């Protein structure tokens, strides 16, 4: 299978998304944003989004205001509206000022039983509401040891492709998050991450090479201040989804700065490589 071959413009800046998970209070959120903002606002060339817990979306919408930092949700209902106690619709998230919604985070899949089919519906629901879905894919350590990483990623991706098609899939972002690296302190090596990212891009390129080259593929799983630059320097890594380190203003600021540094990455490098193959 070939890598993308079209010589299209370089993709935009890297995207770094903070996933605060179930952490925070009004007071601690305000303090974290207060500490982060001066550094982040001065950062050109990187897009940043913050996904706080649902009850704090309105607070964060107020704090982020016109800073240029986007707001995202950690989850979204696959339904539009109705008798779905405890659920939050895409329309509500958009109404609160969200631009992004995570779908299929491994904690949602493993702890709350979200299936590939449900994740695909959530992806579609986000698009319907005008949000950018961030589709999380990842294998467990057992799947990796059994040599099934690419097969697992492929079937997670296919479920969404079959539901929405490539043109709609390309409106989202993909986050590769090996389950064994999430919250464990064990990061995929840059080479391991790059290999899976390249595989994902090849699967996408089989559908539409140009769209595949443009799609943003984020890496997530124990990204820290000291490993971010190496990960972000990989050709097919277009940013990061950051859990634990996003709760530490200094660490998250450093990760965002690492994403801004000029690398031989993204489409420029991809086009360069394919042009010389």
Considering the complex, what minimum distance in angstroms separates the CB of residue 210 from ligand PGA?
Answer: 28
Residue 107: active-site member: no
Helix-strand-coil split of the chain, %, nearest 5: 50, 15, 40
Segment lying near ligand PGA (by CB under 6 A), choices 7-15, 55-63, 219-227, 257-265: 219-227
Out of 241, 251, 258, 259, which residue is the one contacting ligand PGA (CB under 6 A)?
241
Considering the complex, what minimum distance in angstroms separates the CB of residue 230 from ligand PGA?
Answer: 15
Give the H/E segment covering residue 152.
helix 149-164
Q: How many CA atoms lie within 13 A of 277 on its CB side?
A: 11
Distance (Å, whole) CA 197 – CA 10: 17
220 makes contact with ligand PGA (CB under 6 A): yes
H helical segments located in 19-140: 26-41, 57-64, 90-95, 106-111, 116-128
Q: Please, which residues have CB within 8 angstroms of residue 148's CB and are 6 or more apart in sequence?
A: 139
Q: How many residues sit in the footprint of ligand PGA (CB under 6 A)? A: 13
259 makes contact with ligand PGA (CB under 6 A): no
Given 114, 177, 199, 263, the catalytic residue: 177
Three-class SS of residue 30? helix
Given 78, 105, 107, 199, the catalytic residue: 105
Report yes or no: 18 and 51 within 8 Å, Cβ to Cβ: yes
Out of 4, 52, 172, 243, which residue is the one contacting ligand PGA (CB under 6 A)?
243
Segment lying near ligand PGA (by CB under 6 A), choices 31-39, 84-92, 231-239, 243-251: 243-251
Q: Please, which residues have CB within 8 angstroms of residue 159's CB and are 6 or more apart in sequence?
A: 116, 117, 119, 120
Residue 263: active-site member: no
Tokens of 245: 């380190």
47 makes contact with ligand PGA (CB under 6 A): no
Out of 133, 172, 244, 266, which residue is the one contacting ligand PGA (CB under 6 A)?
244
Considering the complex, what minimum distance in angstroms separates the CB of residue 135 from ligand PGA?
Answer: 12
90 makes contact with ligand PGA (CB under 6 A): no
Which one, 244 or 253, has the nearer CB to ligand PGA?
244
Three-class SS of residue 139? coil
Helical packing angle, 26-41 and 249-260, nearest 10° = 30
Out of 159, 173, 209, 242, which residue is the one contacting ligand PGA (CB under 6 A)?
242
Residue least distant from ligand PGA (Cβ): 243
24 makes contact with ligand PGA (CB under 6 A): no
Segment lying near ligand PGA (by CB under 6 A), choices 86-94, 149-157, 221-229, 264-272: 221-229
Among positive and negative, which fits the CA dihedral 249, 255, 257, 260?
Answer: negative
Which residue ranges make up the site for ligand PGA (CB under 6 A)?
Answer: 19, 177, 182-183, 220-223, 241-245
Active site residues: 105, 177
């Amino acid at each position: 299978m070939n890598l993308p071959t079209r010589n299209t413009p370089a993709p935009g800046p890297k995207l770094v998304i903070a996933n605060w998970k179930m952490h925070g209070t009004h007071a601690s959120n305000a303090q974290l944003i207060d500490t982060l903002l001066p550094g982040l606002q001065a950062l050109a060339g990187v897009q940043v989004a913050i996904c706080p817990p649902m009850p704090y979306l309105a607070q964060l919408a107020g704090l982020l205001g016109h800073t240029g930092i986007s707001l995202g949700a950690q989850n979204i209902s696959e339904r539009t509206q109705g008798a779905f106690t405890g659920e939050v619709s895409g329309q509500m998230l958009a109404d609160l000022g969200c631009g992004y919604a995570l779908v299929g985070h491994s904690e949602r899949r493993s702890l709350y039983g979200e299936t590939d089919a449900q994740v695909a519906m959530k992806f579609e629901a986000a698009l319907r509401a005008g949000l950018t879905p961030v589709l999380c894919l990842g294998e467990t350590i057992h799947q990796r040891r059994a040599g099934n990483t690419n097969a697992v990623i492929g079937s997670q991706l296919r479920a969404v492709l079959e539901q929405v098609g490539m043109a709609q899939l390309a409106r989202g972002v993909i986050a590769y998050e090996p389950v064994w690296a999430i919250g464990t302190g064990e990061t995929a090596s840059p080479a391991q991450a790059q290999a899976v990212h390249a595989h994902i891009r090849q699967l996408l390129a089989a559908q539409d090479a140009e769209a595949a080259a443009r799609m943003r593929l984020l890496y997530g799983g124990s990204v820290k201040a000291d490993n971010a630059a190496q990960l972000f320097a990989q050709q097919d890594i277009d940013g990061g989804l950051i859990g634990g380190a996003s709760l530490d203003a200094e660490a998250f600021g450093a990760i965002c700065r690492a994403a801004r540094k000029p690398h031989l990455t993204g489409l420029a490098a991809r086009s360069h490589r394919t042009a010389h193959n």
